[in-house]
């Protein structure tokens, strides 16, 4: 689908990250063997990519934060994507302040990188998805410059039963671009884009690709229960795999976040889990979640991206420990056509 492991850009000095020491019990709990979960940076909603010999992770907050690594173990802090917000954001969201951009999605097409991102009035589906482009991810290059591409779409409370955050771009077997997105409300959606990768194709047709039972009406100002968010579509063999996150994030040890998956031979679905249940009707096979039992290292895992680097598939996500969100990366194997995170 795309090359995506990109940990956030921030302004400031270089910081090295020492991975927590591993042992047998830690590996049994699912820590990736590239260096275990990071002690820093603390990330939320990581997207990973590779350019040349360097891995990048982009993530939520601080104008879209970015870190870089040569080995996925030791990370260096880079400049954020935005030091000031694009002017159109305040026009669409008059109460928007600061640099609180969320859930970046990065991929390379047409000779440049496309970075999709979202921002919102927290707890409401008054949200926007924007896009920026760059010829390179290397801030030392003379070609390095993020160019604002404007708003791709917007959701409006009381009008829409979906939420325009957590974007993910996927290209189908015919070369057609599709954007999946969504958080809570009436589930995860998908819509076709124009070849410019910046505008929604006409006539607009919105597909529901995943949802969960909930006690929500689209006129409600709050998202309700039955949490689902963060779609990510990954092509493997004959199938498109839809990864999504269930349950509650953002509460440290009280988080219940977990990653689910289904697959389809059509990019628009239906995405069925291992038991044949449709993800649009509450289906989804567990990929990763919190550690079982009372002795926990990870309380929850969620908001993942999946990428292929040098012929190896990886899943990146944020994990909740006793402190705050940490970056986790596992190699991803495939057993009988289904993804299994390497322990």
Report the catalytic residues: 45, 229
Q: Name the nearest CA neighbour of 329 among 61, 69, 11, 60.
A: 69
HEC sequence for 198-219:
CCECCCCCCEEEECCCCCCCCC
Which residues face 272 on adjacent strands?
Answer: 263, 278
Angle at 196 between CA 191 and CA 198, to 5 degrees: 55
Tell me the H-state helices in the chain: 24-28, 87-92
Residue 294 DSSP label: S
CA 39 to chain centre: 20
Q: Are 2 and 236 in contact (CB under 8 A)?
A: no
Helix (H, G, I), strand (E, B), or coil: what is residue 235? strand
Residues 3-41: b if buried by 16+ CB within 10 A, e if exposed: bbbbbbbbeeeeeebebbeeeeebeebbbbebbbbbeeb
Residues 6+ apart with CB under 8 A from 8: 41, 43, 46, 57, 58, 59, 60, 61, 62, 64, 65, 66, 67, 80, 104
The tokens 């908001």 sit on which residue? Answer: 303
Q: How far apart are CA 147 and CA 109, in angstroms?
A: 15
Q: How far apart are CA 7 and CA 57, in angstroms?
A: 2
Q: Are 36 and 74 in contact (CB under 8 A)?
A: no
């Amino acid at each position: 689908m795309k090359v995506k492991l990109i940990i956030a850009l921030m302004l400031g000095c270089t910081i090295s990250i020492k991975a927590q020491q591993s042992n047998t019990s830690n590996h049994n709990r699912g820590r990736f063997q590239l260096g275990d979960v990071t002690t820093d940076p603390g990330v939320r909603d990581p997207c990973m990519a590779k350019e040349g010999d360097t891995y990048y992770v982009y993530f939520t907050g601080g104008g879209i934060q970015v870190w870089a690594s040569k080995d996925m173990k030791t990370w260096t802090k880079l400049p954020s994507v935005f030091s000031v917000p694009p002017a159109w954001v305040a026009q669409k969201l008059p109460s928007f302040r600061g640099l609180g951009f969320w859930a970046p999605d990065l991929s390379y097409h047409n000779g440049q990188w496309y970075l999709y991102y979202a921002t919102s009035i927290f707890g409401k589906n008054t949200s926007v998805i924007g896009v920026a482009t760059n010829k390179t991810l290397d801030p030392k290059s003379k070609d390095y410059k993020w160019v604002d591409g404007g708003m791709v779409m917007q959701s409006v409370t009381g009008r829409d039963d979906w939420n325009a955050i957590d974007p993910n771009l996927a290209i189908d077997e015919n070369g057609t671009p599709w954007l999946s997105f969504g958080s809570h409300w009436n589930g995860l959606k998908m819509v076709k884009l124009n070849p410019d990768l910046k505008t929604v194709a006409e006539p607009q047709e919105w597909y529901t690709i995943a949802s969960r039972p909930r006690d929500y009406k689209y006129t409600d100002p709050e998202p309700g229960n039955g949490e689902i968010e963060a779609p990510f579509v990954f092509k493997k063999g004959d199938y498109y795999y839809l990864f999504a996150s269930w349950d509650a994030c953002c509460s440290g040890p009280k988080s219940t976040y977990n990653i689910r998956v289904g697959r389809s031979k059509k990019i628009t679905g239906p995405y069925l889990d291992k038991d044949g249940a449709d993800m649009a009707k509450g289906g989804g096979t567990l990929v990763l979640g919190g550690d079982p039992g009372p002795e926990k290292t990870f309380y929850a895992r969620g908001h993942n991206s999946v990428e292929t680097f040098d012929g190896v598939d990886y899943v990146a996500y944020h994990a909740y420990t006793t402190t705050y969100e940490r970056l986790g990366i596992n190699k991803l194997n495939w057993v009988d056509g289904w993804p299994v995170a390497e322990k």
